[in-house]
Each structure stands twice: as C-alpha cells, then as structure tokens.
Amino acid sequence: MQKLFDEVGSLDRRCYDDFYLSEDILMEHAAEGMAAFIREKFAKDAKVIVVTGSGNNGADGIALTRLIHGDYDVSLLHAKEPKSPMAQLQQKRADALGVPILTQLQPCDVLVEAIVGTGFQGKFSTQLTQLIQEMNTLDSYKIACDMPSPNFFADTTLTMGALKKSLFLDTTKEYVGEIHVIDLGISRKLYERESNWYLLDEEDLELPHRKQKNSHKGSYGHLAVLSGEKLGASVLSASAALRFGTGLVTLIGYEKEQFLNIPSALMYGHALPQTTSAIALGMGLGEEFSDKELLAFLDTDLPLIIDADLFYKDIILKLLKRKNIVLTPHPKEFVSLLKLTGIADISVETLQNERFEYAELFCKKYPHATLLLKGANVIIGQNEKFYVNPHGSAKLAKGGSGDVLSGLIGALLAQGFEALHAAIHASLAHTTLAKHYSGADFSLTPNDLIEQIGKL
Ligand SMILES: NC(=O)C1=CN([C@@H]2O[C@H](COP(=O)(O)OP(=O)(O)OC[C@H]3O[C@@H](n4cnc5c(N)ncnc54)[C@H](O)[C@@H]3O)[C@@H](O)[C@H]2O)[C@H](O)CC1
Ligand SMILES: [K+]
C-alpha cells in the first residue's frame, strides 16, 4: 500500500524548513531520477528530446538535459521560454555546457514532456495543444516529468517525491502510463507525511484461504442473494460467491419456476435461511419486491452488499445508517445516490472529474457505510479512510462484471470480513481475475471471471 497526496508543495516546504534542503537539491534529485531511468532503459547515444515549459517542471527537464548531455544525443525544445528563477538558472547551466536547443520536434528515441506539472492552470493555448498532438505522433518512448501535461500520452510518468491523487483520476488513466516515484534527496518514508488516502498494491490481496482443519460448510458463512426480475444477475453474483469460499449460497425469490434452471450448487427459497450471515441485493432486482417486502428481508443487522437498482430507490436512505453495509455504485448510480441523499445534484462528468471529493463527501455523511465507487480506478472509502485500486482494466467493461464483484464482496462479508476489508480484497480479487485472464482482452465474460476464481 502506498500513500496518495492532494499536493506535495507542503512536503517540499518541510524539506526546506525542517531538513535544511533547498529547491535546487530537490530539483537535482528529480532530474537525476529521470536520468537514471533513461540510463537504465536506453543505450548511450540514444536520441533524447526534452520539451520544457516556463516553470519548475520545465526546470526539471532542463536539468535532465545537463545530466545526460555528453552521453546521450540530447536536445532541448522550449515549449515556453524558461521563466521561473530555477528554470532560468537551469538554462544558464545547460547553456554553459552547450546543450543544443531545437526550434522544432524531430524523430527521437526518447521524448520527455516537461511542459507543465503541478502548476498547470486553466487551459493550454492552441499552439501548445498542437505541440502536444505533434509529440504524441512521434514514434518515441514517452516520459512525462512529474505528471503528463494535458492530453500527452506517456509510456511512463516519473513523479517527484510522492504519488499525487490526480494521477489516479479515471480521466488520467489513459495518459499516465506506468508510474514511478522519484526520491528527492531523502527517503520517501521521511519525505511523506500521514495521509488518509492509499493506493492498493496487488500484493495487498488477502484471500479467504481455509486454515481451519476441523470445519464444515457452515463454517464459511451463508450468503442470501435477493433475486429480481433479471435472475441472471443474481445467479452470477451467487455463483461468484460460492466460488470465492462461501459455505452456502441461497437465491431468494418468489416464483419457483424461475429457479428451475439455476446451477445445482445454488439453493433457492422464499425467505432468508436461518443461517444467513450476509445478504446481497440490488443486482437485477427491478421491481420484484415492494419496498415493504425489501425492508422485511432487511430487518436484520446482517452485513449487506447493495448494488445497482437500489441506488435509484428511496429505500436506500433507510439502509445507509447501518453498520457493515457495502455500496457498489458505478458513476451514474453514484450520481443518483448523491441526489437521493441530498449531497449533490451533479452530472456524471462532474463526478468523474472530482471523484475523490464526492467520495469523501459521501463517506463523511455516512461514516458507517463502505463505498466502492466503480470506475477505471476504483475508490473504496469508509469514514475517513480511502483506497484506490488502479489495477482494473478495460477487460472488465462488460455486463455482469459488477454482479461478479458483488458476489465476491458478499462472499467475504458472509465469511466474516469486516465491510471495508471485504470491499478492498474483493476489489483486488476482481481486478486480479481480469489481469490473469489469458484470453483476448475483448472476450472476458462474467463466467470467465468466475472460472478464474479457482486460480487465484
Ligand atoms: N516535490 C515535487 O513535486 C517537486 C516538484 N518539482 C517540479 O516543479 C513542478 C511545479 O513547478 P511550478 O513552477 O510550480 O509549476 P509548473 O512548472 O508545473 O507550471 C507552472 C508554469 O507553467 C505555466 N503554466 C501554467 N498553466 C499553463 C497553461 N494553461 N498554459 C501554459 N503555461 C501554463 C506557468 O506560467 C508557470 O510558468 C512540478 O511539477 C515538478 O516537476 C521540483 O522540481 C522538485 C520538487
Ligand atoms: K509534465
């Protein structure tokens, strides 16, 4: 698990004020980190172009040219003239060493984008937008310094000091490529401060392995899945739960006929079994149950995983104050939930640009609930603790993937995982399943995901 930060300016200032470091020292390490990456990955004499802006992001880039000039065929291209004091100082140093300056892009092996970083504001001019477009067309290995400038597609982002949350918005996933953190003259552990936002690593996954020798099917929980108009959704969820270790899984519904063709390992019934240890509902629910019937089913303090259709029903408001409840909305469902709860009336686009902020607002109002906000980078939050799972891929963008995720969460709830941990480890399992799927990226189906569970 790695920490995420809204900003790192305060971390820099602490380096200056408390550790007697200087902006020049931090910048030298920033540039040296980029140089080390290039030295490791590219043979000497590779052609490198560093495109720089007017501020300290540009200064990082100019310092980089100084460090590799002489070993690499490196040139500078000023997208904007150096303006900040550090940029001008770095340029003076680069000039003294004779770093070549280009007036236009050329083919190259490595292209470093150091136009803007954390100081970007507003919008790029047409000229800069066109330059970025031209940079994207070059057949080069593309490195973003600290963070990509708008619309620059990086193969790797070398970010300074610590991970910024802005690198993990859904809207940036297309651009950042692989992200590496560069230390700035002290260990990252000492550079970073406390944070309530964390990035989940794949190694953090905990699986419901069975360690107890003397056990029986009742030892591993009993998940009840309320089945609605679209039975397939709850069957996917139930099948995933069974595969993910739940001892017993029962589909709950009225019409006996609809259950005649369900997988034989799944049970069905009209009422919650006595041994139920968690309930999953919402997937394909439709109007199968009246609110009164739903509330009767939910008149327990059992852990709940709530998905899909429930986010459009007022009844959700009665459930939000409960403990051990996991909500798994996708952006459109979360917009509905924000409106139902009176938190905000926003568009999906607004949410997608401010996912962190709205996740925090929701969890502040409902501190007992665990939110799993679906997306390219999943956000999981409970009260004041937040986690980002960046390991998902477009393979999962298919109907039924969410039903499988609900089953994975329900399985861990039924087996006694606390809601936040159930959401974290089910989400990591979900993205790991997709990653390990060996078929074509467009071919993954929910049943493939369920099949993959056995190989975790
Ligand atoms: N701990 C760290 O993260 C460190 C980061 N470093 C580098 O410093 C930059 C931040 O530098 P700063 O000067 O504050 O801002 P930028 O260079 O990112 O950009 C501001 C610069 O760009 C111009 N600008 C802003 N918006 C626009 C726009 N829409 N169009 C055109 N130009 C724009 C503005 O005029 C300024 O001149 C950080 O990203 C790191 O790369 C340190 O080097 C080490 C510590
Ligand atoms: K940049």
Mean pLDDT of 77-93: 98
Which of 116, 123, 126, 131 most suits a substitution to test ligand 1, by most atoms within 8 Å of the C-beta?
116
Range with lowest mean pLDDT among 21-25, 249-253, 415-419: 249-253
Q: How far is CA 248 from CA 44, 89, 244, 277, in A?
A: 61, 68, 11, 10
Ligand 1 center to residue 49 CA distance, Å? 19
Res 257 pLDDT > 80: no
Ligand 1 site, residue 246, Cβ cutoff 6 A? no
Mean pLDDT of 337-365: 97
Res 423 pLDDT > 90: yes
Output the pLDDT for position 321: 81
Which of 146, 152, 158 most suits a substitution to test ligand 1, by most atoms within 8 Å of the C-beta?
146
Which of 16, 28, 132, 160 most suits a substitution to test ligand 1, by most atoms within 8 Å of the C-beta?
160
* 237/184 same-domain check: no
The pTM for the full model equals: 0.93
pLDDT tens-digit series, residues 140-186: 999 999 999 999 999 999 999 999 999 999 999 999 999 999 999 99
* 118/178 same-domain check: yes
Ligand 2 center to residue 56 CA distance, Å? 10
Instruction: Tell which of 170, 195, 220 closes a domain.
Output: 195
- Chain length of the chain: 456
Output the pLDDT for position 293: 85
Q: How many domains does the chain have?
A: 2
Average pLDDT score over the chain: 94
Mean pLDDT of 254-281: 86
Mean pLDDT of 279-301: 83
Output the pLDDT for position 286: 76
Per-residue pLDDT band for 51 (boundaries 50, 70, 90) equals: very high
Ligand 2 center to residue 60 CA distance, Å? 9
Nearest CA to ligand 1 atom 24: 120
> Which DSSP state fits 148?
P
Output the pLDDT for position 262: 81
* 191/228 same-domain check: no
Ligand 1 center to residue 36 CA distance, Å? 22
Compute the radius of gyration of the chain from its Cα atoms: 26
* 233/107 same-domain check: no
Q: How far is CA 449 from CA 189, 413, 436, 453, in A?
A: 37, 19, 9, 7
pLDDT tens-digit series, residues 301-326: 999 999 888 899 898 998 898 889 99
Mean pLDDT of 245-256: 88
Atom of ligand 1 nearest to the CA of 29: 44
Binding residues: 233, 284, 330, 402-403
Range with lowest mean pLDDT among 36-50, 76-90, 203-217, 438-452: 203-217
Q: How far is CA 432 from CA 4, 170, 282, in A?
A: 21, 19, 24
Res 218 pLDDT > 80: no
Q: Which domain holds residue 144?
A: 2-195
Range with lowest mean pLDDT among 73-77, 282-286, 409-413: 282-286
Output the pLDDT for position 134: 98
Ligand 1 site, residue 84, Cβ cutoff 6 A? yes
Ligand nearest to C-alpha 129: 1
Please tell me which residue, 270 or 153, carries the higher pLDDT value.
153
* 298/414 same-domain check: yes
Output the pLDDT for position 41: 97
Instruction: State the angle between helix axes of 446-453 and 419-436 in degrees (0 to 180), rounded to the nearest 10.
Output: 100
CATH number at residue 292: 3.40.1190.20
Output the pLDDT for position 162: 97
Per-residue pLDDT band for 291 (boundaries 50, 70, 90) equals: confident
- The most distant pair of C-alpha atoms in the chain lies apart, rounded to whole Å, by 84
Distance CA 155, CA 424 (A): 28
Res 217 pLDDT > 80: no
Instruction: Tell which of 134, 165, 195 closes a domain.
Output: 195
* Alpha carbon distance, N-terminus to C-terminus of the chain: 20
Choose among 110, 105, 30, 104: nearest CA to 62. Answer: 30
Ligand 2 center to residue 120 CA distance, Å? 9
Q: How far is CA 207 from CA 80, 190, 424, 425, 455, in A?
A: 51, 32, 11, 7, 12
Res 211 pLDDT > 90: no
Choose among 21, 23, 166, 171: nearest CA to 89. Answer: 23
Query: For residue 399, what are the β-bridge partners?
Result: none
Find the helix or strand (DSSP H, E) in which 76 lies: strand 73-78
Ligand 1 site, residue 57, Cβ cutoff 6 A? yes
Ligand 1 site, residue 111, Cβ cutoff 6 A? no
* 206/177 same-domain check: no
Output the pLDDT for position 196: 97
Range with lowest mean pLDDT among 130-139, 258-267, 300-309: 258-267
Per-residue pLDDT band for 292 (boundaries 50, 70, 90) equals: confident
Ligand 1 site, residue 160, Cβ cutoff 6 A? yes
Instruction: Tell which of 164, 195, 226 closes a domain.
Output: 195
Ligand nearest to C-alpha 114: 2
* 165/247 same-domain check: no
Mean pLDDT of 333-358: 97
* 255/389 same-domain check: yes
* 340/210 same-domain check: yes
Would you say the C-alpha torsion 272, 274, 280, 283 has a positive or negative sign?
negative
Choose among 185, 182, 188: nearest CA to 33. Answer: 182
Range with lowest mean pLDDT among 23-27, 90-94, 286-290: 286-290
CATH number at residue 93: 3.40.50.10260
* 413/444 same-domain check: yes
Distance CA 128, CA 143 (A): 17
Ligand 1 center to residue 116 CA distance, Å? 5
Query: For residue 17, what are the β-bridge partners?
Result: none
* 239/316 same-domain check: yes
Res 327 pLDDT > 80: yes
Range with lowest mean pLDDT among 27-31, 275-279, 290-294, 399-403: 290-294
* 228/362 same-domain check: yes
